[in-house]
Amino acid sequence: MTRTYNAGVKSWDVVIIGAGIIGLSLAISLRKQRLRVLVVERGEPGREASYAAAGMLVGSGTEMPPAVKPLAAESARMYPEFAHELEDESGLKVDLREQGTILISCDSAFPDSAEPISRERLRSLEPELIVASSAAYISERSVDPRALTAAAFKAARHREVDISSGSEVKGLLTSGDRVNGVQTDKTSYSAGIVVNCAGAWAGCIAAQKFPVRPVKGQMLAVVGGPHLEHVVRADNVYLVPRSDGRIVIGSTLEDAGYNKQTDVSTIQRLLQAARELVPELAKTKVHDDWAGLRPGTPDELPILGETRTTGYFIASGHYRDGILLAPITAEIMTGLILGKSGTHDVGAFTPRRFLGLEQ
């Protein structure tokens, strides 16, 4: 849907750049505070990283930077309410699964909250899984990010968030050191607050080009094979079952610019790694494969806060955890935009840490 608003007729309190899960969740949160919100999306809403994501709600990963862990844990705790509210408001299901996750590791580097499990217990939990290394159970949920983003889009529309898709923001409108809107390739939109939620494209918007880079992940989904109850996360591959029988298998971490093509050998390698864990996957068919672009930052931390242009905020750089961090990001950013002091220490995420590093 492409809709362009006449800036002379309609005005907004906030323009959000990017209709992925971060932008849409924030739009809904700001509407709850009665702000008038426009989301400007360069392509189709929810079709970039939010569409490509696996949807593992990893609340306590050992690979996660320490500064992100409190946010991840809190966002994981918020998820059931977040997901159910989107379901209620959209009438769409988001496939939030509570079955938990089996972790498999050669060096047993499990988070403290994981419970090591014996071979026998593993066999009863997930009979198709053949594992030579150590295993542990952790009560992490998963969600279907495509369904979640579709629900967020519908819920945002239901709450009268305006959405302009197919318009690329080329730059900011400013007056002195204040933002007062955005300039797209077609028109301009005025608002006293602008929030950059453009994911891997967040660094492309003049005038402050944040060092966000795309980190490509190739993935596939298989159908018609064994039943998996749990998410399975190993050192070199993960498997995420959906309730409709698909199993999503991922992923790579590639520095390939904005190239979203998949290659046969990589998809086959992922499938082979998955088959080593679940040999019955040999009977499945590849349903589809795809690649998404995660928004990576030099320190692997999100960028959350007001920039050096008054009224211009950024919420990007969520790297591998954008789906998980959507509810907490919406809460934090709403607090920052309204000037309310929040309970989370977001000092580590300030955009100002990149002052002087912008291109």
Cβ proximity to ligand GLY, 29 vs 251, nearer residue: 251
Residues 6 or more apart whose CB falls under 8 angstroms from that of 12 comprise 36, 37, 38, 162, 189, 190, 191
What minimum distance in Å lies between the beta carbon of 54 and ligand GLY?
5
| Residue 266 makes contact with ligand GLY by CB under 6 A | no
| Residue 351 makes contact with ligand GLY by CB under 6 A | no
| Residue 250 makes contact with ligand GLY by CB under 6 A | yes
What minimum distance in Å lies between the beta carbon of 59 and ligand GLY?
12
Q: Kindly state the tokens that stand for 229.
A: 């109850």
| Residue 217 makes contact with ligand GLY by CB under 6 A | yes
Cβ proximity to ligand GLY, 61 vs 305, nearer residue: 61
Concatenate the DSSP letters of all residues of 246-310 into one string.
-EEEE---B--TT-----HHHHHHHHHHHHHH-GGGGG-EEEEEEEEEEEE-TTS--EEEE-SSB
Rounded to whole angstroms, the Cα distance separating 55 from 75 reads 13
What minimum distance in Å lies between the beta carbon of 231 and ligand GLY?
11
Cβ proximity to ligand GLY, 50 vs 307, nearer residue: 50
Residues 6 or more apart whose CB falls under 8 angstroms from that of 36 comprise 11, 12, 13, 14, 162
Site for ligand GLY in 310-329 (CB under 6 A): 320
Cβ proximity to ligand GLY, 53 vs 152, nearer residue: 53
Rounded to whole angstroms, the Cα distance separating 68 from 299 reads 11
Cβ proximity to ligand GLY, 30 vs 68, nearer residue: 68
Rounded to whole angstroms, the Cα distance separating 17 from 141 reads 29
What minimum distance in Å lies between the beta carbon of 247 and ligand GLY?
15
Element (H, E) at 184: strand 178-184
Cβ proximity to ligand GLY, 37 vs 221, nearer residue: 221
What minimum distance in Å lies between the beta carbon of 48 and ligand GLY?
13
Task: Tell me the Cα Rg of the chain.
Answer: 20
| Residue 296 makes contact with ligand GLY by CB under 6 A | no
Q: Which residue sits closest to ligand GLY, CB atoms considered?
A: 320
Element (H, E) at 170: strand 169-175
Rounded to whole angstroms, the Cα distance separating 291 from 267 reads 10
Among 50, 149, 251, 266, binds ligand GLY (CB under 6 A): 251
Q: Kindly state the tokens that stand for 161.
A: 């968030």
| Residue 213 makes contact with ligand GLY by CB under 6 A | no
| Residue 54 makes contact with ligand GLY by CB under 6 A | yes
What minimum distance in Å lies between the beta carbon of 200 and ligand GLY?
12
Positive or negative CA dihedral for 253, 255, 259, 264? negative
What minimum distance in Å lies between the beta carbon of 311 and ligand GLY?
32
- At position 101, the amino acid (one-letter code) is T
Cβ atoms 64, 346 nearer than 8 A: no
Cβ proximity to ligand GLY, 296 vs 305, nearer residue: 296
What minimum distance in Å lies between the beta carbon of 292 and ligand GLY?
8
| Residue 239 makes contact with ligand GLY by CB under 6 A | no
| Residue 97 makes contact with ligand GLY by CB under 6 A | no
Q: Which positions lie near ligand GLY, rule CB under 6 A?
A: 54, 56, 217, 250-251, 294, 320
